Amino acid sequence: MKINREMVESIGNGVILLGRSATHLPTLPRQYKRVLEQCLQIGYKTAPLVFILCFCIGGVLALQVGDGFRNYGFKQYIGSIVGLAMVRELGPVMAAIIVAGRVGSAITAELASMRVYQEVDALRTMNIAPERVLVLPRLVAILLTMPFLTIMSVLAGWLGGALVAQYEPSIQLDYSTFFQVMKNFVKVEALTDGLIKGQVFGFCVVLICCNVGLLTKGGPREIGHAVTRAVVASIICILFLDYFVTKAIL
């Protein structure tokens, strides 16, 4: 019962935080430096990790699919499976999970520490809304960078899949066939669906992590707990949303 109440309270607080942040949208042009700084943190510094993870996932996926398909003479379809799986599902989900782990945890740790050490209170006493300077730039930055991260995750997965398909002795499917078959199956709609998913997941991750950070009370131990809570909540949220967003856009 207590957990349910806490969950409802957290969702309510998240909605209020989003509403308050939205009221500061007119201040966005003068906060462009903060937005750029967050874009650097969220996008540029996360990209290598997204690339490595999705490259490996694409490769392993090609290996798995290839192993199953070669016995039935369907190995030319590896490209279609890897292509669709990466663009519709694995690319946006994996990119969002990396964002939750790398960016979300950092956001929660920073905001929770600002809260615990009264920096957030100091902002309020200066009549500066924390939502304006701490939350809004991060939300805008994730909206700007998430499409690039999603596209990169998809491309990395395709590349990993194609390399494994070409050089794995048990598969040996050349690039051109891999990408040609993929091209027949992966339509522009699939890419836009993936981008929509990525945007929704990324936005929710940053909102959850900001919310948990700003609600932290106590001392250093609570900062650690907040980070764990935020990352777990973000990943669960991604997985739940994945179903509903997929159902909505199918």
Partner 1 sequence: MSPTKSPSPVSVDVRGVRKSYAGHEVLHDVTFTVQPGEIFVIMGPSGSGKSVLLRQIIGLERPDGGEILIAGLNASAESTHAKIRTGLVFQSGALFNSLSVFDNCAFYLKEHRLYDKATIRDKVMEALRMLSLENAAHKSPAELSGGMKKRVAVARALVMEPQLLLYDEPTSELDPIMAATVAELIATVREETHLTSIVVSHDRDVALTIGDRVALLMNGTIKALDKPSAIRASKDPVVCSFLNPQIDLNNPRFRKE
Count, residues in the chain:
250
Q: What is the token pair recorded at 3?
A: 């957990």
Give, to the nearest 10 degrees, the angle between helix 32-39 and helix 136-167.
30
Q: Which of residues 98-117 bind partner 1 (CB under 8 A)?
A: 113-114, 117
Q: What is the token pair recorded at 127?
A: 């009549």
Q: Does 5 bind partner 1 (CB under 8 A)?
A: no
Q: Does 133 bind partner 1 (CB under 8 A)?
A: yes
Q: Long-range contacts of range 22-28, CB-CB < 8 Å, 24 or more positions apart?
A: 23/131, 24/129, 24/131, 24/132, 24/136, 25/136, 27/132, 27/136, 28/136, 28/140
How far is Cα of residue 183 from the mean position of the Cα atoms in its chain? 25
Q: Which stretch binds partner 1 (CB under 8 A): 97-105, 119-127, 176-184, 234-242?
A: 119-127
Q: From the list 36, 40, 128, 232, which residue makes contact with partner 1 (rule: CB under 8 A)?
A: 128
Q: From the list 126, 170, 243, 250, which residue makes contact with partner 1 (rule: CB under 8 A)?
A: 126
Q: What is the token pair recorded at 196?
A: 């929509």
Nearer to partner 1, 6 or 174 (CB): 6
* 3-state secondary structure (DSSP) of residue 187: coil
Q: Which stretch binds partner 1 (CB under 8 A): 38-46, 50-58, 118-126, 141-149?
A: 118-126
Minimum distance from residue 167 beta carbon to partner 1 (Å) = 46
Q: From the list 10, 60, 89, 119, which residue makes contact with partner 1 (rule: CB under 8 A)?
A: 119
- Site residues (CB under 8 A) for partner 1? 113-114, 117-119, 121-122, 124-128, 133
